[in-house]
Structure 1
Amino acid sequence: MAGFAAKCAGSPPPGRPFLGSSVRLGSADRWERVLGEERDAAGRDRPVISLSPSAEFPPLSAQDVEALHRLGEHWRAADEVRALPVDPELRPARPGATHTRAPDEEFRPDQPGELTATPTAELPDTLLGRVAVRARRVLLGRPLSSKAILRERMRKIVALPVLASDLLSSVAYGPEALLTVLVLAGSATLGLSLPIAAALVVLMLAVGASYRQTVRAYPHGAGSYLVASASLGPRTGLTAAAGLILDYVLTVSVSVAAGIAAIASALPAAAPLSVPLSLAVIGALLAGNLRGIRVAGNIFAAPTYLFLVAVGGMTLVGLAQAAARGFAVVPPPHVPATEALSVLLIARAFASGATSMTGIEAVSNAVPAFRPTEWRNARTVLTWMVSLLIFLFAGLMVLIHLNGLVPRADETLLSQLAHRTFPEGPWYAIVQAATALVLLLAANTAYNDLPRLLYFMARDGYVPRRFLHMGDRLALSNGLVALSVSAAVILTAFGGRTQSLIPLFAVGVFLAFTLSQVGMVNHWRRQRGSGWRRRAAVNAFGAALSSIVLVSAAVTKFVEGAWVVVVAVPTLVLTCLGIRRHYDRVRQALSLRPARPPSPDRARELAQEFLPQRVRHMFVVPVARFDKAALRALTYVVSLGQPSLAVHVSPEDQEADRLREEWTAWGDHIRLETVVSPHREILEPLAQYIAQLYDRSPGITLTVVVPEVVVERPWQRILHSQIERRLRRSLRRLPGVVITSMPKHLSEARARTAR
């Protein structure tokens, strides 16, 4: 018992070593815990969260280990020590062995009873498979060892462009979204843009300060999903997660569409190709992120810094030019009003301008991706991000107002401002190129955060567990692919139009903001540590402002497309709850201990169910014709010394009679049962016959051994019936029926013929 518990914990057991050996695929020397507990400043437990390739298979609980120990006691009477016909440690083979590779090329001895697979062992056997693996390695790089995850962390100088690209690039379309709504009341109302911008700056400060506290309170992961789940309950956490999922998918769609729009402003000929170009950019982003977080950070850092220099420099030059003329305001061109100025219109403009804050939560989601000390470095980067955002947003809004610019269908506001600031020289082209690049790569923030969110949700059982899997480069590949496909579908459906996507954008963003900050208020109220009232007040202020934007966006943009998010969020929550219920049922069904303590009789019955000596076998061999494939399966079955039966399904009596005659000539060593199918159906009568056998004696384990012809080329498979797979689909509902196959290789037969 102690030995097994030690093995589960990852340390060698005391006393005698374990019998048997384990093979691991490059496992790490040590791991951070996937989910543990640590004490916070107030002495309370809080979760410790990090990524691990082993997250799908956590260690057994102490109760499960105890149940396993009790079950193992019943096995002792059935234990038989038998010599293995092959050395499991793969020591050098005897001379003349057919294995062509030296064992240490595939598996390297690590310690007694344990081998480590080398890259050679991970290559497929087929030529096509090996070509695919090598092509993937050329595209993505050589696979990283699992222990390299501890080194895949970001420095602050790399984390800033990786995590801030979405936030900072949003100033390229946020101000334009604000003015596009405001100008509906005519150019005379554009003066309201500065008060609205000032209110948005206050919102940025409040939300930024709130997330700084969130990062400190949850130093091992502070996304809205985790905070809301811990403080407000799992359903609220799922609501926040649904908003984040929509946020990240739309981040990719909006950023890429805005980047292509920036290119089209400078090169109008590219406008008709906006959707294909957008899809190509999404493909490039996917390939870059599949290479790993550190490599992706190094690739995508330069464009963000170029954008900061270009747009920041344009802002400073523009302010200097405005100061030289005494900050005189250039009158905007006349735009007729199509709507009356109202509180509702102002609220719509405020909600649209608030999209300049998208991505502000990226740092809190990615705290574990920083180098130690994680939370301190994350807060530093968050402070830089918010400061840069306020400078760029406020500066651009002031310059747009001073220059009298209005939104135009053929050119973005940023392009107009660059033309006005740099009427000659290469600077306009530099600003447009930097803007296009950062908009295209702003989606990288979503590529960094959404797979991590799906990982945590999969760990909790709310999304498929495949999102726990890491690829060759320790990237959460399934999450990256799901994000790319979803964004590509949405972008194509909306024809690459940024303004059509933004109404969907704001609701999901601020839903997550609001729930995260409300969760933080509840967090401080529960802890009641030093200064908790001040911290709770900061988060409450941020929650109040975020909720105002949320309600404004949902109400004012409902008809424009926000209804999609209003419908999608509860749909996603219900879907996640359904997935969780399924996993709960699976876990209960597979658990080593029942949900409730069983009665003594039931406990003995459960123990008997898993005793090897209590298993009753019967083997069934479907025989289509008497040939080498069938004979090989029959030979295998007879060698096991268990009750056996052969079954032949025939479309007519004459064929059945012919096979019985051949069977008698062979010697009738196994009972043969023939089934005549007058309507020429073969599979269904065979499946029904096997099901009837099982129903007559449900206590037996019925193993169906299907003779299988293994062809030499993949295309040749379509020339054969693949009855094993079809039979497995038909009989999978029966718990005591096992479907397997006995292969007969054509390449083996040809080699013998050649000799």
Structure 2
Amino acid sequence: MNKGHEKDEWDSGVPRPSEALPGLDQEQLRVLRQVGRQWHRVAPRSATEHRALPVNPDTGVFPPAADIHPTRFGQLVRVSSLGGGVSEQRADGADEAGRSPVGRFAHRSRRVLLGAPLKSTAVVRESMRKLVALPVLSADALSSVAYGPEAMLAVLVLAGSTGLAYSLPIAATIALLMLVVGVSYRQTIRAYPHGGGSYIVAGDNLGLMPGLMAAGGLLIDYVLTVAVSIASGIAAITSAIPSLAPATVPLGLIMIALLLVGNLRGIRQAGVLFAAPTYAFILAMFALIIGNLADSAGSGFRPTPAPHPTATEGIGVLLIMRAFASGSTAMTGIEAISNAVPAFRPVRWRNARTTLTWMISLLVAMFGGIIAIVHLRGVIPRGSETVLSQLAHLTFHSGPMYVFVQAATAAVLLLAANTAYNDFPRVLFLLARDGHAPHIFLRQGDRLAFSNGIALLSVAASLVFVVFAGNTDSLIPLYAVGVFLAFSLSQTGMVVHWRRVRTRHWRKSLTFNATGALLSTLVLITAAITKFTSGAWVALMAIGLFFLLATRIRHHYQKADAALRLHPDATETRDRAGARAPAPAPTATPHPVQPEGGWPDHETGQGEEEKEETPQAVHHLAVVALASLDLAGLRALAYAASLRQPTLAVHISPSEEEAQRFRGYWTTWGDHVPLHVVLSPYRAIVAPLIHYIEALHRQRPSLTITVILPEIVTQHLRHRLLHSKDAARLRRALRPLPKIVVTSVPFHIS
């Protein structure tokens, strides 16, 4: 578990390339010096020979991070060109070469749906003001009032009118729980101003197992958020258009497919556009509450007698506990603001706390208002129509305001489902960063979306939606367990945090978090017991399986790290006499430095691309792309030097601090190969590397540039998905450029 929450990778809810260059301890630094001495003894070179390259590696710099701003309607920006000139080539034509007709059709269809590869773009920070952050980050929590109260009433109605009489005290208890948990998360924001989700907080303060359990609960929560939100949104539509009810499952799958395609396109619309549905829903709910209260005022607020439902169960503690657990699902999404503190404008933590207070106030007001008017108007759940639809019909009949209420409800529920598409890949990213999930979840697709996480969420949510036939009442029992497991562990972690740090007012903060932890744990136990046979066992089993899988993945990565670690036995060999001797390293022959004013016209490469039928006509430059100086990286460097061609090492660094550390490690090794560090302010690694290689290519088009990557090769097929596929991504992106070769140097681990 990464203990440094200050290094949280998720500024403003958008992941950035890891700034945590693997540190080298004293033993590894000693081995690195030893390897460097071996290179020097076997291949001594003068400083002039060392710097001999056929191109100038200094191709310019990217703009400072402060000068990069998102576009008006999104967070994608074009990566600036290096070295002068602009390359607008795309990989579409090259990707189609050699494909079968079916393959070309599939490729073109994918491009129509997802768009062309954005190899020249990256994601940048976008800070939000409070009025924009409120609807964007609160959509999940606020939309839950569309199904939370109804879920509670659906349990109470089983006991007939006697059960419905308990709706007000149970709702008051849930409202109190909302206030307590909301205040608790205000303390979390103060303690974790860089963003502190349940996984981070529980892992930092309680240890590995609680952190993974919280992550498992969150992942289950996000899958069910999509399924429940879609189910509730479809229910709002079918309440207004009953003829669509038989098509509930197909309509839900279509909605999930649309969310999948939209998120795979990588389009990040500005918060203003996302704000509209949430504000429309808030307006619709208050119009609904005020309208029904006004109607009730005419009768002196005397409750309308409800239909007398047939009691199928007796009222008892178990039924009341089930109703309480079902109604508590209205709290899902409360932690979203504490996760995304860096998304706010400065002062970030203060603005986040203010926004959280607004959200809790709105949530309590809407939840309490809906329960109050349900009681006054005598409405009970019906299978053919939602409670909100019944209330809207009573006040607005079937007029424009009824349509507005239903449309706003459906829109905000779909937006809440889309929120999970942002948060689910975020949790997977954090897990992958810490080695508990495959590293493929660290990577962005060619549309700069976290395609693997998005696809996994869509598949899981679709399966859940189909299995439960899109029925909200059937899905709710699964929901509460994951939500309140994350709440409980997060708040318990905060109790440990305050006991450890003992900052100003720590006792008051500890009291708030302890109360939140206690109440959340009570709801968790209640939900697990009362809803176990109704489906909670599925969520509990899924969390257990996740924990088992995460620990196995971590075990593999620990073995891989041990194999890659610099240690004496891996860098020394015995000579014939049995003594330790340096491993042989090939020499690299010097090449002329690029003259001032550029290369002569006859070396520009014009017309030469088709005249390389003999080895003498090929002029080489080997570019070794390195993320770290481990055994795999050193092996790639040794392979490049063995080609006896000019060699250049390149490291893409997201921060100046990391760049300085890498240069320090490079100097410790001995600086035997020219190194160029590209300081990239963009939230991407591959795109800046591609631009750098393109800049080198433009300097001397006649040069054949071989990009060399260290590659981890595993013994077992099941482990292959756990390691990087950068070589394949680079091949696809660089394919349009002539005279670029991408190769990999395998490093085998068991």
Whole-angstrom CA distance in 1 between matches of 2:467 and 2:579? 54
- Aligned 1:5-24 pairs, distance under 5 A: none
* Post-superposition offset of 1:532: 0.7
Tell me the SS of whatever aligns to 2:165: helix
Query: Which residue in 2 is equivalent to 1:281?
Result: 255
- Aligned 1:619-698 pairs, distance under 5 A: none
* Post-superposition offset of 1:67: 2.7
Q: Does 1:61 align with 2:24?
A: yes
Q: Does 1:578 align with 2:541?
A: no
Query: Which residue in 2 is equivalent to 1:407?
Result: 381
Tell me the SS of whatever aligns to 1:443: helix
The amino acid of 1:263's aligned partner reads I
* Post-superposition offset of 1:373: 3.3
- Aligned 1:490-529 pairs, distance under 5 A: 490-529=464-503
* Post-superposition offset of 1:327: 0.8
**1:483-503 CA distances to partner (integer Å, 9 max, x unpaired)?**
112111211121111111110
Q: Percent identity?
A: 51
Query: Which residue in 2 is equivalent to 1:640?
Result: none
**1:656-681 CA distances to partner (integer Å, 9 max, x unpaired)?**
xxxxxxxxxxxxxxxxxxxxxxxxxx
Cα 1:609–1:204, aligned 2, differ >3 Å: closer, same or farther? farther
Query: Which residue in 2 is equivalent to 1:73?
Result: 37
The amino acid of 2:32's aligned partner reads L
Cα 1:562–1:731, aligned 2, differ >3 Å: closer, same or farther? closer
Tell me the SS of whatever aligns to 1:125: helix
Whole-angstrom CA distance in 2 between matches of 1:550 and 1:206? 15
Query: Which residue in 2 is equivalent to 1:692?
Result: none
Cα 1:179–1:731, aligned 2, differ >3 Å: closer, same or farther? closer
The amino acid of 2:507's aligned partner reads R
Q: In structure 2, list runs of 5 or more residues that go unmatched.
A: 60-78, 588-613, 616-712, 719-750
**1:224-249 CA distances to partner (integer Å, 9 max, x unpaired)?**
00000000001110001100000000
Whole-angstrom CA distance in 2 between matches of 1:606 and 1:510? 62
Q: Does 1:120 align with 2:93?
A: no
The amino acid of 1:71's aligned partner reads V
Cα 1:298–1:492, aligned 2, differ >3 Å: closer, same or farther? farther
Whole-angstrom CA distance in 1 between matches of 2:184 and 2:330? 17
* Post-superposition offset of 1:160: 2.0
Whole-angstrom CA distance in 2 between matches of 1:431 and 1:606? 83
The amino acid of 2:585's aligned partner reads P
Query: Which residue in 2 is equivalent to 1:300?
Result: 274
Verify the 8 A CA contact 1:141 1:291 in the aligned structure 2. Answer: no
Tell me the SS of whatever aligns to 2:454: helix
Query: Which residue in 1 is equivalent to 2:608?
Result: none
Q: Does 1:261 align with 2:235?
A: yes
Cα 1:433–1:731, aligned 2, differ >3 Å: closer, same or farther? closer
Tell me the SS of whatever aligns to 2:269: helix
Match of 1:181 among 151, 155, 172: 155
Whole-angstrom CA distance in 2 between matches of 1:220 and 1:544? 26
Moved more, 494-503 or 75-84: 75-84
Verify the 8 A CA contact 2:189 2:353 in the aligned structure 1. Answer: yes
Query: Which residue in 2 is equivalent to 1:382?
Result: 356
Tell me the SS of whatever aligns to 2:94: coil
* Post-superposition offset of 1:319: 1.7
* Post-superposition offset of 1:194: 0.4
* Post-superposition offset of 1:252: 0.4
Query: Which residue in 2 is equivalent to 1:611?
Result: 584
Verify the 8 A CA contact 2:10 2:16 in the aligned structure 1. Answer: no
Q: Does 1:589 align with 2:563?
A: yes
Match of 1:482 among 441, 456, 459: 456
Cα 1:247–1:315, aligned 2, differ >3 Å: closer, same or farther? same
**1:572-621 CA distances to partner (integer Å, 9 max, x unpaired)?**
11110110010000011011236x9999989x99986853369xxxxxxx
Cα 1:329–1:731, aligned 2, differ >3 Å: closer, same or farther? closer
Verify the 8 A CA contact 2:238 2:244 in the aligned structure 1. Answer: yes
Whole-angstrom CA distance in 2 between matches of 1:84 and 1:133? 45
Verify the 8 A CA contact 2:572 2:582 in the aligned structure 1. Answer: no
The amino acid of 1:475's aligned partner reads A
* Post-superposition offset of 1:140: 5.1
Query: Which residue in 1 is equivalent to 2:397?
Result: 423
- Aligned 1:130-209 pairs, distance under 5 A: 132=107, 136=111, 139=114, 143=118, 149-209=123-183
Q: In structure 1, list runs of 5 or more residues that go unmatched.
A: 1-33, 38-44, 93-106, 615-634, 637-727, 734-755
Cα 1:608–1:481, aligned 2, differ >3 Å: closer, same or farther? farther
Verify the 8 A CA contact 1:247 1:505 in the aligned structure 2. Answer: yes
Verify the 8 A CA contact 1:215 1:367 in the aligned structure 2. Answer: yes
Structure with higher RCO (Cα < 8 A, 6+ apart):
2
The amino acid of 1:120's aligned partner reads Q
Q: Does 1:218 align with 2:192?
A: yes
**1:496-526 CA distances to partner (integer Å, 9 max, x unpaired)?**
1111111000011000000000000000000
* Post-superposition offset of 1:153: 3.7
Query: Which residue in 2 is equivalent to 1:99?
Result: none
**1:416-454 CA distances to partner (integer Å, 9 max, x unpaired)?**
011111125311111111111111221122112111111
Match of 1:467 among 433, 441, 458: 441
Tell me the SS of whatever aligns to 1:126: helix
Query: Which residue in 2 is equivalent to 1:318?
Result: 292
* Post-superposition offset of 1:121: 6.7
* Post-superposition offset of 1:270: 1.2
Verify the 8 A CA contact 1:253 1:491 in the aligned structure 2. Answer: yes
Verify the 8 A CA contact 2:202 2:493 in the aligned structure 1. Answer: yes
* Post-superposition offset of 1:59: 4.7
* Post-superposition offset of 1:339: 0.6
Verify the 8 A CA contact 1:153 1:294 in the aligned structure 2. Answer: no
Q: Does 1:534 align with 2:512?
A: no
Match of 2:215 among 238, 241, 245: 241
Whole-angstrom CA distance in 1 between matches of 2:582 and 2:462? 50
Task: Compare CA radii of gyration and give the structure with the larger one.
Answer: 1
Verify the 8 A CA contact 2:90 2:117 in the aligned structure 1. Answer: no
Q: Provide the TM-score with structure 1 as the length reference.
A: 0.68
Tell me the SS of whatever aligns to 2:504: coil
Verify the 8 A CA contact 2:92 2:116 in the aligned structure 1. Answer: no
Verify the 8 A CA contact 2:572 2:581 in the aligned structure 1. Answer: no
Query: Which residue in 1 is equivalent to 2:644?
Result: none
The amino acid of 1:126's aligned partner reads D
Whole-angstrom CA distance in 1 between matches of 2:387 and 2:80? 61
Whole-angstrom CA distance in 2 between matches of 1:372 and 1:289? 28
Cα 1:60–1:426, aligned 2, differ >3 Å: closer, same or farther? same
Cα 1:55–1:317, aligned 2, differ >3 Å: closer, same or farther? same
Query: Which residue in 2 is equivalent to 1:398?
Result: 372
Match of 1:366 among 318, 323, 340: 340
* Post-superposition offset of 1:385: 1.2
Tell me the SS of whatever aligns to 1:331: coil
Cα 1:378–1:425, aligned 2, differ >3 Å: closer, same or farther? same
Query: Which residue in 2 is equivalent to 1:456?
Result: 430
Tell me the SS of whatever aligns to 2:378: coil
**1:35-65 CA distances to partner (integer Å, 9 max, x unpaired)?**
896xxxxxxx954544654329835535445
Whole-angstrom CA distance in 1 between matches of 2:229 and 2:318? 27
* Post-superposition offset of 1:159: 2.4
Moved more, 133-142 or 189-198: 133-142
Q: Show structure 1 runs of 4+ deviating over 6 A.
A: 80-86, 596-602, 604-607, 728-733
Q: Cα RMSD (Å) of the superposition?
A: 3.8
